[in-house]
């Protein structure tokens, strides 16, 4: 990555956390171009999009957008939204799990209450036979997020897993520890701005680490999601699995809504399990800006389409 792109990315990631900009942006609904990455603002809209994906043989994990909340009242409201979402998944009989962010449940404000909110959601999900993935946020929350999943597993709630980010130096240890406890994991490269002393800087190093994590998981037989749009990583995974006769049912590919859709459809047609991460809700701004930061060309795409409108 050249210096200009790095700087641009860093500015976007800083903007993703800016509340004042978020408030202004969200007032304009999804008109700013976020519609490409966000399925809608309401439950009805997201159900329609998920049903469309299911018809193409692609399942979903639905994320009700919202992070960095400021009060436990907000956390309670988000929990209620997730409970409604779970009932809606059951009612519409769509093939979908859910993804949630621990800070959205109040982890940074009141860890005990945040944990209780997550447990309530996982319990309702278990009733509907739905899987819950606890997304991984930035590094101050890595230990607590892993701790929540382990605690829920100890309580017998097995329909919950989390995410491991290949850019963190610690990740192979985390993967090994969680694999021993048969925790379902999603492996990603990592989307946040992290200090140099704890994270790999170079794409080459992140990619190598991701491959190591994928290999460890596929060898273990514990169900794993490989969440990447990187064609080289996906090809590598397919080859690794086929050379070792690892069943295509033992893992799945996950990609984001609005990103690499032809690739998602092609893999599904080839008999791989594919799940699309489908976000919805009014608080779409930080999610949207992180997607732009991943690929600065997206900014040009959005600007061009905005001008035309």
Instruction: Establish if 298 lies at the interface with ligand FDA (CB under 6 A).
Output: yes
Q: How far is the CB of 77 from ligand FDA (least distance, A)?
A: 22
Question: CB burial class (10 A; 0-12, 13-18, 19+) of residue 112?
Answer: exposed
Among 94, 183, 227, 268, binds ligand FDA (CB under 6 A): 227
Q: Which residue has the tokens 């739905």?
A: 130
Binding segment toward ligand FDA, per CB under 6 A, in 8-16, 25-33, 172-180, 251-259:
251-259
d(CA 42, CA 253): 26
* Chain center to CA of 108: 19
Instruction: Establish if 248 lies at the interface with ligand FDA (CB under 6 A).
Output: no
Instruction: Establish if 64 lies at the interface with ligand FDA (CB under 6 A).
Output: no
Q: How far is the CB of 9 from ligand FDA (least distance, A)?
A: 10
Binding segment toward ligand FDA, per CB under 6 A, in 87-95, 168-176, 240-248, 256-264:
256-264
Task: Answer yes or no: is 47 a known binding residue.
Answer: no
Could you confirm whether 174 is annotated as catalytic? no
DSSP run (H or E) holding 179:
helix 171-180
Both tokens assigned to 60: 């979903």
Binding segment toward ligand FDA, per CB under 6 A, in 18-26, 114-122, 151-159, 223-231:
223-231
Nearer to ligand FDA, 91 or 122 (CB): 122
Instruction: Establish if 255 lies at the interface with ligand FDA (CB under 6 A).
Output: yes
Residues in the chain: 309
- 172 backbone φψ class: left, alpha, beta (φ>0; ψ -120 to 50): alpha
Q: Which residue has the tokens 């990619």?
A: 207
Could you confirm whether 9 is annotated as catalytic? no
Contact (CB, 8 A) for 9 and 298: no
Task: Answer yes or no: is 48 a known binding residue.
Answer: no
Both tokens assigned to 132: 């819950």
Nearer to ligand FDA, 45 or 294 (CB): 294
45-70: b (≥16 Cβ within 10 Å) or e: ebbebbeebbeebbbbbbbbbbbbbe
Which one of 63, 124, 186, 275 is the catalytic residue?
A: 186
Contact residues for ligand FDA, defined by CB under 6 A:
135-136, 163, 165, 186, 188-192, 227-230, 254-256, 259-260, 277, 291, 294-295, 298
List active site positions.
135, 186
Q: Which residues are annotated as a binding site for substrate?
A: 101, 290-291
């Amino acid at each position: 990555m050249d210096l200009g792109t790095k700087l641009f990315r860093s500015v976007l990631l800083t903007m993703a956390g800016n509340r004042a900009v978020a408030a202004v942006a969200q007032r304009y609904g999804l008109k700013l171009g976020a519609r490409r990455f966000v399925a809608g603002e309401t439950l009805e809209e997201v159900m329609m999009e998920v049903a469309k994906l299911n018809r193409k043989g692609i399942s979903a994990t639905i994320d009700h957008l919202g992070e960095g909340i400021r009060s436990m009242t907000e956390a309670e409201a988000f929990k209620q939204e997730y409970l409604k979402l779970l009932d809606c998944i059951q009612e519409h009989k769509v093939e979908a799990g859910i993804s949630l962010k621990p800070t959205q449940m109040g982890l940074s404000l009141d860890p005990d209450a945040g944990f209780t909110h997550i447990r309530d959601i996982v319990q309702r999900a278990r009733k509907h036979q739905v899987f819950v993935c606890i997304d991984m946020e930035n590094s101050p929350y890595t230990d607590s997020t892993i701790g929540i999943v382990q605690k829920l597993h100890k309580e017998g709630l097995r329909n919950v897993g989390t995410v491991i980010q290949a850019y963190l130096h610690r990740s192979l240890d985390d993967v090994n520890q969680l694999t021993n406890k048969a925790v379902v994991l999603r492996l990603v490269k990592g989307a946040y701005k992290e200090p140099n002393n704890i994270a790999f800087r170079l794409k080459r190093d992140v990619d190598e680490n991701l491959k190591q994590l994928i290999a460890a998981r596929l060898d273990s037989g514990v169900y794993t999601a490989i969440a990447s749009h990187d064609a080289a990583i996906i090809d590598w995974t397919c080859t690794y699995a086929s050379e070792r006769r690892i069943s295509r049912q033992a893992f799945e590919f996950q990609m984001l809504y609005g990103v690499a859709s032809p690739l998602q459809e092609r893999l599904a047609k080839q008999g791989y399990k594919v799940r699309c991460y489908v976000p919805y809700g009014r608080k779409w701004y930080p999610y949207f800006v992180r997607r732009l930061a991943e690929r600065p060309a997206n900014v040009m795409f959005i600007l061009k389409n905005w001008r035309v409108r």
